[in-house]
Structure 1
Amino acid sequence: MSSVCAVVVAGGCGARFGNPGGKQLVNVAGRPLMTWSIRAFDRSAFVSHIVVVCPAEKMDEMRRQAIDPYNFATPITFAEAGKTRQDSTRSGVEAVPAGYEYVAIHDAARPLITAEVIDRAICSLRCESGVDGVVCGQAAIDTLKVVDGNRIVETPPRSRYWAAQTPQIFALETMRRAHAAALADGFVGTDDSSLVERMGGRVLCVDSPRDNLKVTVPEDLRPVTAILLGRMSDADAMQNTGILTPLP
């Protein structure tokens, strides 16, 4: 049952966030931003190892601030981030210990992911034969426009479009082959799934809550913090009524 290793990518420099030290250690609802993502994978029924990808010079600081104070039960190791997200993901995938069948790749900047969503996505991949991976996401609800500059040239049917999130979960060896092929061909994808898709891999979309937000700019912290505080309040209320439930 424990054949999944999570790769939590925390290698960004936070350029769009505007913080020279990056955003992964910014306090959000009482914990560093990246701690929330690690917590969700630590609580997964299927994940038994976590690889955190970050710059080598930040490994000690991230362990000291975002990991050690929280008594995670799952073993956590580090891999060095690369120049691009794709380089960082490849580093994390290569650092997965021997014996794992699947890898779940997640952006540390999506702190609202839950163990329930992770486990449901893993089950979707395991239960569907002939599938190489699954991508958490949401069917598009907004009308989409194709533009040339700012001129609209097409309005495609939104029923064909999904907004991709993370985690994205794959058979480990498939993901390693996809990265090797992309590196050899000089291909840079927009996400992890695109590397598998270009090899002819079959990847499915799995419905994930719309509140699985990514923190990119400072104003993203407001809704994320509000949701996390709301979850903690709900958990406290349930405990006060005798319905014990763990903090998401």
Structure 2
Amino acid sequence: MRAPVVCAVVVAGGCGSRFGNPGGKQLVNVAGRPMLTWSIMAFDRSMYVGHIVVVCPPERRDEMRRLAIDPFEFQTPITFTDAGETRQDSTRAGIEAVPTGFDYVSIHDGARPLITTEAINIAIASLLGDASADGVVCGQPAIDTLKIVDGNRIVETPPRSMYWAAQTPQIFKLDVVRRAHEEAIRQGFVGTDDSSLVERMGGCVMCVESPRDNLKVTLPEDLRPVTAILLGRMSDAESAQDTGIIARSPLR
């Protein structure tokens, strides 16, 4: 296999306001490891990923390295860059911190600890295999009936067949997503995610189905199902590599 072509950017810059923890949620213990560690671990075991950039507040950098990185035997080089005031600022900082030599970037929320290496590899392979695509977004087709509401009054029930719930990682050609962020700055545009920036400048972004349990931890009650799933994986031999029980085979 050729050298890895993807740099992973793991965004861990949130203040945890909705979670209720002044220190954020990235270092909260989940099934025996900091939440951030689980996300890094999944990317560390991907054959496509050759570098990981962690985006976090500068004052928390040493603490995150000491608690979430140093105690674990990661094979992939890991560097840090400073988070910005908004998530869009933070992802832009992560993209700008990608070292030379990488053609693609995979942007992931550090608060999604259930992402698996298999899902990452499938998404990356989908992008690499489609020359017409500028990016792919992991997600799930909507299963709930959706309502458009004005105040508390339903005004429309759109067909759910056209709707997906977007997750991360979101993977892009590096030059395309960089241009998208530059264009957003020039026009003062703030998107809901990185894909929206690429879409608005005419880029082609595809959806790739990822596991439905790729949950994001936003509130304290989200920890219960996430912990249960991780503990279940740790007891499942088929998922042992994704949980770090089995070391990754040397691929490069």
How high is the TM-score relative to the length of structure 1?
0.96
Give the equivalent residue in structure 1 for 2:103: 101
How far is 1:246 from its partner? Answer: 2.3
Give the equivalent residue in structure 2 for 1:5: 7
CA separation of 1:89 and 1:17: change in aligned 2, threshold 3 A: same
Return the alpha-carbon distance in structure 2 between the equivalents of residues 44 and 65 of structure 1.
22
Give the equivalent residue in structure 2 for 1:241: none
How far is 1:233 from its partner? Answer: 1.1
Report sequence identity in percent. 75
1:42-81 mapped onto 2 (5 Å cutoff):
42-81=44-83
Pairing partner for 1:221 from 206, 218, 223: 223
Q: Which ranges of structure 2 fall in alignment gaps of 5 or more residues?
A: 244-252
Give the equivalent residue in structure 2 for 1:246: 241
3-state secondary structure, aligned to 2:236 = helix
Does the 8 Å contact 2:26/2:35 carry over to 1? yes
How far is 1:27 from its partner? Answer: 0.2
4+ residue segments displaced more than 2 Å: 244-248
3-state secondary structure, aligned to 1:23 = coil
Pairing partner for 2:139 from 137, 140, 145: 137
Return the alpha-carbon distance in structure 1 between the equivalents of residues 171 and 210 of structure 2.
13
Give the equivalent residue in structure 1 for 2:177: 175
Does the 8 Å contact 2:234/2:240 carry over to 1? no
Q: Which ranges of structure 1 fall in alignment gaps of 5 or more residues?
A: 239-243
How high is the TM-score relative to the length of structure 2?
0.94
Give the equivalent residue in structure 2 for 1:203: 205
How far is 1:45 from its partner? Answer: 0.8
Pairing partner for 1:157 from 153, 156, 159: 159
3-state secondary structure, aligned to 1:70 = coil
The RMSD of aligned alpha carbons is 1.0
How far is 1:247 from its partner? Answer: 4.4
